[in-house]
Structure 1
Amino acid sequence: MKLLLIGSEPVDYTIAFANGVAANMPVTLVAPRARFAALRDALDPAVELILLDWPRHRSLANPLFLARLTRLIRQRKPDLIHLLSNTAFWLNLAVPFWRPIPLLTTIHDTRLHPGDRDTATLPAWAPRLMVRQSGDVVVHGEGLRESAALTFHKPVDRIHVLPHPAMPRYGDLARVKGMARRAPDGSFRVLLFGRVFAYKGLDTLLRAEALLGDRVPGLRIVVAGRGDDPMALRDLMGRPECYDIRHRFIEDPEVAQLFLDADLVVLPYREASQSGVLPVAATFGKPVVVTDVGELRASVEPNGTGLVVPPNDPAQLADAIARMAQDDSALRAQCAARARHWAETVVAPRIVGTRAYQLYTRILQRA
């Protein structure tokens, strides 16, 4: 079987997924030069990486890019093409020229999240058209399967579930660089990481901190990532001095250090499909507190990696953080061990890659 992966975003998912599939079969990955040239070492040597100059959505260079990509596909003659996201606008125009090669597309989000300015730059019809042109699609959970069927009007038997793989590259980076957790200083560090947009529930976390008062001695809340400015919500903070705000793009070594230093990772989301933060936290063996949205409960609760609270409920979020902070020797340690086990078994890239290989085989047999 000759497989061609096309991936631009999300970068960490693309790397983990390609590495997982490469443990089962030869893989060719076509990716943007600007994003992946410096990340070649993060890919398994079994992955053949082909870098192309990938224009921005509004660039007039896109037709030339599509012609080069289509020429590459015709030269390679893959048995199956797997597009690792349905949010590449211009690729819609090239798909008709790839037929009759079967096309499989991964849908990370079945609907636009409130305040997600990145995805909102796409015309609403673009991701829908890509799904319509794909013979089969992949989502990351059973609940998302039903949501995708309703949103994209796709037959359920053409929607397949592959879990989001663990993303060990930051942990690998920490080991290679000999990085270690900072020396204990009496603080309890709570990390909110990623793109800080409205649906991530930052305001809920700030209200929870204000309700905590003195219940968690040494509380330190780290908010790291680009997006909305957290300081615009300063009035919601109980104690502004306990915050470490890093409102910017976070480079890889700093990401690794943030997760090494965290005592707890929180995902207080108002809405979500799934999360790439969970697999990163799990590879570092970090317990989590998440809200019951999208696939977060289904990922956390059965695997015992943390606590689940209702969305938009600062009081219950505060109680969960306090419980994790106070139960230092039991609950937190237990969740940490289970998180690491989950990352190394259920959602390990090689395990997800095996499931993907089995799915590819079924698609080709049907074709």
Structure 2
Amino acid sequence: MRILLWYWGRRGGGAQFTLGLAQALARRPGVALRLSISRQGELLDRFRKLSVATDIVDTYRDLPGFATGLLRLPGLTRQLQRSAAEADVVVSGMTHVWTPLVAPALARAGRAFVPVVHDAAPHPGDFAWAWDWRLGRELDAARAAVALSDQVADSLARRRPALPLIRMRLPALLAPGAAPAPPSAPPPPGLRLLFFGRFRHYKGLDLLRDAFRLLHRAHPEVTLRVVGEGDAEACAPGLGALPGLRLEPRWVAEDEIPALLAEADAVVLPYREASQSGIVPQALAMGVPVVAMPVGGLTEQLRPGAGGLLAEAVTPAALAAALARLTVPAELARLRAEAREAGRAEADWDGQAEALLQGLSRVLG
């Protein structure tokens, strides 16, 4: 099968997902892989190491670059169409701001276009202008769509009942060389909790603030590290002033993620809503348990025995109670063992690449 894997974004989960998928597809016998990626992408050097045919296009780094980049978009669209003419299918690793402008041209040219849909609806509190227009344009141009959770698959099925769906699981987005935490190392005194990712309202930083306040009163030895890009105070006023909490407002580069996880005893996801989380498989692949709210795709990723805990309800008290269970050494040791076991499957990119290929084969006939 000849696959053109397309992603013009610069960084973050979309770039990591596309790289992991490209690495797995490049290993598959019978797959002729070609890439279309951004010259401004932070993972460009890693894509180049794959030794597959690659179209490197100039996109943009900032707002002025975006404006001038729009002038190049017709030429970039024609370039993508030429590459697509030599492929059986164009797979979009994740939507990009230009994807809805380019994808219809692929459909008009008769090219099979299959987007990986990470979110089927805007997150609460996120900027959602033109969301339906963007997703609608992509789905109208698509021969099929890939969903990474049952929640997203159900939403897409309601929106486009006739559109074939391909189910993949989101594997761990880990940097090369990352390894699980040593199973025999005794935990240091005091539970070390970690939240990392972009600071968004739907991620429940205010719920985490209130939950940690309750937890720290009962267990003052517990610490929480909050690392990510954005305005934490806008999401949760007073968060950075809590005792035992270390706030680091900054972008977390991919290479730093394994070390960040290795220094934590557990990752906490206080989200109000989630299609799925790339952080869950990352943490489990490192042998680090996850505590999360019982919402969306998180309930699929953290089933019993999978190395995590779900709070009983989406409230600070319920989250604090779930986190308090980790202060019991035997409970933490049990969850660590479960995380290491579940993490083996979470790192299986080859299995998920096979699921994609089987789905594409059905769609393409």
TM-score of the pair, normalised by structure 2: 0.86
Correspondence for 1:132 among 133, 137, 140: 140
Runs of 4+ residues over 6 Å off in structure 1: none
Once the two structures are superposed, the pairs formed by residues 285-296 of structure 1 within 5 Å of their partners are 285-296=287-298
- Aligned residue identity for 2:26: A
Aligned residue in 2 for 1:323:
325
1:269 touches 1:291 (CA, 8 Å); kept in 2? Answer: yes
Q: Structure 1 counterpart of 2:50, which letter?
A: P
1:197 matched to 2:197 = no
Q: Report if aligned partners of 1:6, 1:84 keep a CA contact under 8 Å in 2.
A: yes
Query: Deviations along 1:127-164, whole A, 9 cap, x unmatched?
Result: 221112111111112222111223xx212551221111
| Of 17-26 and 159-168, the range deviating more from structure 2 | 17-26
Check if 1:52 corresponds to 2:52.
Answer: no
Q: Retained in 1: the 8 A contact 2:3–2:89? A: yes
Q: 1:304 aligns with which of 292, 303, 306?
A: 306
Cα distance, 1:91 vs structure 2: 4.4
8 Å CA contact 2:287, 2:337 repeated in 1: yes
Pairing of 1:243-254 with structure 2 (within 5 A): 243-254=245-256
Code of the aligned partner of 2:354: T
**Structure 2 CA distance for partners of 1:146 and 1:233, relative to 1, 3 Å:** closer
Residue 113 of structure 1, CA deviation: 0.7
Which of 107, 123, 127 does residue 117 from structure 2 map onto? 107
Distance (whole Å) between structure 2 residues aligned to residue 230 and residue 217 of structure 1:
23
> What is the alpha-carbon distance in structure 2 between the residues aligned to residue 121 and residue 60 of structure 1?
22
Opposite residue 324 of structure 2, the aligned amino acid is: A
* Secondary structure of 1:169's aligned partner: coil
Q: Contact 2:103 / 2:138 at 8 angstroms: preserved in 1?
A: no
Identify the residue that residue 211 of structure 1 maps to in structure 2.
214
SS in 1 for 2:87: coil
CA separation of 1:264/1:104 partners in 2, compared to 1, >3 Å: closer, same or farther? same
Q: Which sections of structure 2, spanning at least 5 residues, go unmatched?
A: none
Q: Where does residue 178 of structure 1 map in the other structure? A: none
SS in 2 for 1:208: helix
Q: Which residue of 2 is the match for residue 332 of structure 1? A: 332
Counting aligned pairs with the same residue, the percent is 27
How far did residue 96 of structure 1 move?
2.3
- Structure 1 length normalisation: TM-score? 0.85
Q: After alignment, is 201-210 or 310-319 more displaced?
A: 310-319
1:81 alignment partner, SS class: strand
Aligned equivalent of 1:12, options 16, 23, 26:
16
- Distance in 2 between residues matched to 1:340 and 1:47, nearest whole Å: 33
2: distance between equivalents of 1:8 and 1:345? 29
Shift of 1:232: 6.6
For 2:356 and 2:71, the matched residues in 1 are separated by 31
The 1:106/1:231 distance shift into structure 2, 3 A limit, reads: closer
1:246, distance to aligned residue in structure 2 (A): 0.8
Number of equivalent positions: 353
Distance (Å, rounded) in 1 between the aligned partners of 2:300 and 2:99: 34
Q: Which moved more, 1:73-82 or 1:241-250?
A: 73-82
Please point out which of 158, 162, 167 is paired with 2:168.
162
- Shift in alpha-carbon separation, 1:336–1:48, aligned structure 2, 3 A: farther
C-alpha separation in 2, matches of 1:43 and 1:169:
15
2:35 to 21, 29, 32: 29
**Contact in 2 for aligned 1:22/1:44 (Cα 8 Å):** no
Task: Please give the alpha-carbon distance, in whole angstroms, between the structure 1 residues aligned to 2:162 and 2:113.
Answer: 16
Conserved 8 A contact 1:307-1:320: yes
2:343 partner SS: helix
Amino acid of the residue matched to residue 333 of structure 2?
A
> Is 1:19–1:47's contact at 8 Å kept on the other side of the alignment?
no
Conserved 8 A contact 1:116-1:197: yes
Q: Indicate the residue corresponding to 1:179 in structure 2.
A: none
> Which letter does structure 2 place at the counterpart of 1:252?
E
Structure 1 unaligned spans of 5+: 176-181
Residues 106 and 112 in structure 2, CA contact (< 8 A), matched pair in contact too: no
The 1:336–1:121 alpha-carbon spacing in structure 2 relative to 1, beyond 3 Å, is: farther
Offset, 1:339 = 2.6
Change over 3 Å in CA distance of 1:204–1:254 after alignment to 2:
same
